[in-house]
Amino acid sequence: RLRLTSDGKLRTCLFSDNEVHLRTPLRDGSPDEAIENILMAAVKEKPKGHTINENIFKKCSRTMSLIGG
């Protein structure tokens, strides 16, 4: 799943602070192909899983209500 936050950031995982800034390309009229490239790059970097059940898990800084989850 991908989530677009209200401030224009794309999150590829609820349990990660990694975000891709989409607001500027969406607002400045970037071509659809450029937006598609940004989305595809984000999906390729998306982890295959999370570490929520492991000792190395780090809680993300945004609450779900801020993320949209």
Q: Which helix (H) or strand (E) holds 43?
A: helix 32-45
Which residue's structure tokens are 């401030």?
7
pLDDT band at 62 (very low <50, low <70, confident <90, very high): low
CA distance 45 to 26: 20
CA distance 55 to 42: 26
pLDDT of residue 61: 64
Global pTM reads 0.68
Q: What is the pLDDT of residues 1-22, one digit of tens each?
A: 888 888 899 988 777 778 899 9
Which candidate, 19, 23, 26, places its Cα nearest to that of 46? 19
